[in-house]
Amino acid sequence: MKFTVAIDGPAAAGKGTISRAVAAKFGFAYLDTGSLYRAVGVKALEVGRGVIDPVIAAQLAGSLSQTDLDRGDLRTAMAGQAASKVAAIPEVRAALLEFQKTYARRDGGAVLDGRDIGTVICPEAEVKIYVTASDEIRAERRHKELVQAKPELTVAQVLNDLRARDDRDAARDIAPMKPADDALVLDTSDMDIAEAIKQALTLVRSVYDGT
Ligand code: DC
């Protein structure tokens, strides 16, 4: 059985939480595709001592290991920016393409979250959701996640960071962040996470017959 749920949208809109809930409910596998770009970005920064070299980034993308994906520093704002930068390099995207495509159509169903799942990785996905929320709400949510580890961080800094990343992700030539024509746009600005999950589950249930 092949069944793909594509969940795209800007940073900190709630994609990850919704994706994990959908995967758990229906017994699907889950891939956070942002972590692939984060792992490449962080490693490319390390190798280049703060400077990302596109050729090296592409090589790293072609040889990612589980250890790279298990690093504890992938969720930082710096990793997010590095991810967004390497994600604009066509050779990096090309190196990660096949793995994601195969994952999407694996037997037993899969949920993938990212920026281009419904448009590029799996245009044939049975369910496509584009999760979004206002910039300010997303910044507040992400700030709550990051402030424990970095108490000096302000909401304004997080907001700037998210906007810079969104602009780059939406403006790049290759696989820009945008809703697929047939995606349901789920604006979670005025929803708590339970409501957002409920709406996503209802949509999947309306398409998935469980066989
Ligand atoms: O989902 P995230 O915030 O962990 O993603 C980090 C960055 O990776 C994001 O700013 C852009 C890039 N990305 C991408 O270009 N395509 C994806 N499918 C997933 C992430």
> Could you tell me which residues are beta bridge partners of residue 185?
130
**Which mutation among 7, 33, 112, 119 tests ligand 1's pocket best, with the greatest number of atoms within 8 A of CB?**
33
Residue whose CA lies nearest to ligand 1 atom number 5: 34
- DSSP E strands in 25-152: the ranges are 29-32, 110-114, 127-132
Sheet of strand 29-32: strand arrangement: 29-32, 110-114, 4-8, 127-132, 184-187
- pLDDT of 162 above 80: yes
CA 161 – ligand 1 centroid, Å: 13
- As given in the structure block, the two tokens for residue 207 are 């398409």
Q: Is the pLDDT of residue 73 over 90?
A: yes
Beta bridge partners of 29: 110
Q: What structural domains and CATH numbers belong to the chain?
A: 4-205 (3.40.50.300)
Segment 83-98, tens digit of pLDDT: 999 999 999 999 999 9
Average pLDDT, the chain: 96
pLDDT of amino acid 210:
81
Q: What is the signed CA dihedral for 47, 51, 56, 59, rounded to 10 degrees?
A: 80
| Nearest residue (CA) to ligand 1, atom 1 | 34
C-alpha 83 – ligand 1 centre gap (Å): 6
Kindly tell me if the per-residue pLDDT of 173 is higher than 70.
yes
- Residue to mutate, 5, 98, 163, 169, ligand 1, most ligand atoms under 8 Å from C-beta: 169
pLDDT band at residue 140 under the 50/70/90 scheme: very high
Torsion sign over Cα 73, 78, 81, 85:
negative
pTM recorded for the entire structure: 0.96
For the chain, give the percent of residues with pLDDT over 90: 95
Distance 97 CA to ligand 1 centre (A): 13
Instruction: pLDDT band for 211, please (50, 70, 90 cuts).
Output: low
